[in-house]
Structure 1
């Protein structure tokens, strides 16, 4: 599992870095204005499709099915024979619906958009990802259930290769539509990169069965509803922000993408452990499953809080280094950095939701509790964003996002003990509290260091500040008795002594 985690994180980090390059090019070529806003509204389709069928519903549905079949010693191709035809048919229908309904979709998402026609054109390109992402998510679930993690980890990498390649080659001729075409190409590459491994490890069934299947409406609908209510926070943000000045949607997007990088890295660990968790639950080993979830939560907390401390302390420098080029101005940097600092406060909540939802669906149970929790968080986000935006602008949208998702995370955590696994909520809360204090101290040290380094340019400030924040966080976390930090620092110390 450790080797799989290292492989997954390594490949996925490359893809994430390329995604950062994608956003940098988007800012350089198109800045933060009406054109970039139109593309980002169209990008809502692949963003939703990704969380729904790559890392959302299909993952929560198919990995338990495949894992249970493998635990019984059954042939996984029997699962494929009964599930893939239904899923493919549903994806084709949904893809066609998005293509045909693109004008209505754009109006519903962003009624105040400056250039809705451009957004409709981009949406019709991105609609193809509903089908390609769905097939890619299915292949990924099958491979991960078979403990094959390399090709699924490459999804983000090849997806961004398609977008970056199209933007570089075609932006001068087609403008922001080149990025939408790259999204369509990237979705196709996500399928192709997994096909060889899938044919070797899983294979095609001897025949297709259109009859009975474990994927009944009662099993599918709660998972789909949970995934959509989780993603709907983005819908709320873009709906409310469309009435603000041109470029606001872009500022929110750039800030969120940077803040989400540590979350994506942290959740990659859970992507590796989820098949094991599903097998433990299927085997009735509650103690192992509980230990797995608690360890994941502690690891995610440490990774997120050290990153949040750095991002809050050095948001202007990070945005300037990454995005302030070409059409992206200093004013855009200031606006994005302000929003980014607010968004950062909700990243831990987003990460906890990503970890905590998995146990609810690990044994294929049909529970509506996560849906109700996410709906409550979404409602709170919508109310706070609507009330706060006229007074505080885009930062109010980011704050509403963080408050809503944090409330949802707390409800999922407390509900998990009562409904699924007897995890120690007190132990988890204690670990989060101690590390939050450590993170606050590290952030304070970073802010102080930034004041000392005011004469430097943003890049050396960010690098030196990152070292300061990391050193303070690691030292204080070890003193606080956090076992994962102690294990990492001990391993590093041994390796350094061995190298000497």
Structure 2
């Protein structure tokens, strides 16, 4: 970096913005105390996220095991699962998708504005405010008010909601009682999602990744303490308490990272990029230390346009359409014999584990992609997205192959105890194998949607693609449920989400020139072939072991070995690169 004179203005090009980050942007290269290069920082952040996500998934499995043992797969569990739709939808809308897709790019632009305005030699006038704090002040109070109203309305309208979600329930009263308890998650999940998005944009990943550990711990503790007196309502009360813990676990990090106090920013800044001016406010001239007039940013007091209705509407429509696939399952499954909803739920919980693991890296890199787009570096963002898609596909296909091959052993090992019988195991395992067919589609949709909204510009293409997939799910599911029951519902879900993933991949290739769609599709095709061979070979071999634990362990060895061998045989370079990277790490450790 070249030296600057006392009266010279800082270089505010995109490269300089990345070099000279604000002091409280943790993890940015050039920040005091964090000299690690971006790749090493992303690796550490991904490792922390992986550990905490794995811990949260383990707690979730313990939760599901406890529910299966205490309540089995009958009418009470079906009633709770109808109420469970509320936190499921709230998690997707307010934590995992909509809130993150809206706020991470918005905070990325605010941080870019702060970094572009950074000049330690000057201070702003007393009425100037930090762009990040301006964003917080303009959005958080309004959001909390809206979420509180939503929770209250949902609790009051619980009978109507249950009737709409599961009209086939013989006795809706337990489901209504549980729904009124879980309605609190609209407020708590929304708050937790907002805080998590803000922390991730500031490159703080530990607290947001820990929320599901706290959430499931709350469910476990409350259910164990109250199930004797409250029955299945204890689980719903645990959901409500777990949501409160999700907020509390992030508060210490928020106090450290977010500018909750008035922060004075530097003046003497020359012309800034257009997105910075739009976010931070109008530009006016202020006297610098040498007496000359300098251009500086003065933040607006109004709501930032990055979070206007034009951007909010397509994100919400996409998220609701995606979550509606679960609602379609609940609706169609409510007409099936008692326990069908429970079998669908337990199979879905196991199938989600590979998908969650595959999207961990995308969760970490999304702030990086959003910041690169904010700085105008679309080529770097495109390369990052291509690597993320390939790695996500590799992880989810390997996990899907294992789930498909060893479904009976996995379900028996996890759930077959207490009120959960061997017949429940067989039914859940058969549904789980069908779920595995749609795992790649679900993972790709989760990875592809992020770059669509990284630029903080409104686009309706993802919502339209998701609506097309949902239409396929509804039509195919309504027909297939008559002939194949729960299996037909799940197969329709897999078909719909796969079509959505293909549409999103095609659309993103047209919008991001650096993304080679054909190369990504060819690589994923080779990995799909490797996963199919691994499931076909590993499943029968694992089934030769009678006991669930040794059978699942044998599958855990056989399926990855067959997957890797087949992938190398068909020249899946993604697996070869991964194996070489692991080999290099092990050699470095020795």
TM-score, length-normalised on structure 1?
A: 0.96
Superposed CA deviations along residues 324-352 of structure 1, whole A, max 9, x for unmatched, are: 11000111111101110001100110010
- The equivalent residue for 2:229 is 173
* Among candidates 348, 359, 368, match of residue 451 of structure 2: 359
The structure-2 alpha-carbon separation of the partners of 1:374 and 1:494, relative to structure 1 and needing over 3 Å to count, comes to closer
Quick check: 1:123 aligned with 2:179? yes
Change (3 A) 1:72 1:316: same
2:303 aligned to which of 208, 212, 226: 212
Distance apart, 1:206 and its partner CA: 4.1
**Could you say if the C-alpha distance between residues 369 and 128 of structure 1 is closer, same or farther in structure 2, counting changes exceeding 3 Å?**
same
Q: Which residue of 2 aligns with 1:239?
A: 331
Aligned counterparts of 1:464 and 1:98: Cα–Cα separation in 2: 47
Q: Give the corresponding residue for 2:109.
A: 68
Counterparts of 1:418-433 in structure 2, within 5 Å, are 418-433=510-525
Shift of 1:173: 1.6
2:30 corresponds in structure 1 to none
Displacement after TM superposition at 1:205 (Å)? 4.8
Does the aligned pair in 1 maintain the 2:473–2:493 contact within 8 Å?
yes
**Contact 1:53/1:133, CA 8 A, preserved across alignment:** yes
Which of 58, 77, 80 pairs up with 1:17? Answer: 58
Supply the distance in 1 between the matched residues of 2:259 and 2:221 (Cα, whole angstroms).
31
C-alpha separation in 1, matches of 2:203 and 2:589: 33
- Pick the aligned partner of 2:483 from 387, 391, 401: 391
Contact 1:82 1:209 in 2 (8 A): no
Which of the pair has the greater relative contact order for Cα pairs under 8 Å at 6+ separation?
Answer: 1
Rounded to whole Å, the distance in 1 between the matches of 2:588 and 2:246 is 41
Residue 52 of structure 1 corresponds to which residue in structure 2? 93
Query: How far apart, in 2, do the equivalents of 1:32 and 1:206 lie?
Result: 54
Structure 1 or 2: larger helix share? 1
1:22-81 per-residue CA deviation (whole Å, 9 max, x = no partner) reads 111111111111100000000100000001011111100100010111112254111101
Is the deviation greater in 162-171 or in 203-212? 203-212
* Cα distance change, pair 496–201 in 1 and its aligned pair in 2 (3 A): closer
Q: CA deviation at 1:220?
A: 1.1
Shift of 1:156: 0.8
Output one character per residue of 1:168-191: Cα deviation in whole Å (capped at 9) or x when no partner.
121122111111000000100000
Distance 1:376 1:96, change over 3 A: same
Say whether residues 1:488 and 2:488 are aligned partners.
no
Q: Aligned to 1:347, what secondary structure does the other structure show?
A: helix
Matches within 5 A, 1:401-480: 401-451=493-543, 453-454=544-545, 456-480=546-570
Aligned length: 498
Please identify the structure whose Cα radius of gyration is greater: 2
Q: Which residue of 2 aligns with 1:254?
A: 346
**Structure 1 residues 210 and 225, CA gap change in structure 2 (3 angstroms):** farther
* Inter-CA distance 369–497: structure 2 relative to 1 (3 Å threshold): closer
1:312 is matched with: 404
Specify the SS of the correspondent of 1:376: helix
- Structure 1 residues 192-207: aligned runs within 5 Å: 192-206=248-262
Match of 1:321 in 2: 413
Partner SS for 2:376: coil
Unaligned runs of 5+ in 1: none
CA contact (8 A) 2:383 2:514 kept: no
Structure 2 gaps, min length 5: 1-41, 115-129, 264-298
Residue equivalent to 2:198: 142
- Looking at structure 2, the residues matched to 16 and 332 of structure 1 have their Cα atoms a distance apart, in angstroms, of 22
Compute the displacement of 1:478 (Å).
3.6
Change (3 A) 1:499 1:288: closer
Say which is worse superposed, 270-279 or 91-100, in terms of deviation.
91-100
Tell me how far apart the structure 1 counterparts of residues 585 and 374 of structure 2 sit (CA, whole Å): 38
Residues 209 and 23 (structure 1), Cα distance of their counterparts in 2 relative to 1, 3 Å cut: farther
1:211-240 Cα deviation digits (max 9, x unpaired): 433222222111111100000001100001
SS of corresponding position for 1:326: coil
- Partner in structure 2 of residue 34 of structure 1: 75
Q: Is contact 2:357-2:396 (8 Å) kept? A: no
TM-score normalised over the length of structure 2: 0.82
For 1:130 and 1:445, locate their aligned partners in 2 and report how far apart those are by CA, in whole Å.
Answer: 45
Contact 2:113 2:131 in 1 (8 A): no
Q: Distance in 2 between matches of 1:481 and 1:75?
A: 49
Deviation sequence 1:150-207 (CA, Å, 0-9, x none): 0000011100000011111211221111110000001000000001110111132549
**Alignment check: 8 A CA contact 2:134 2:301 kept:** no
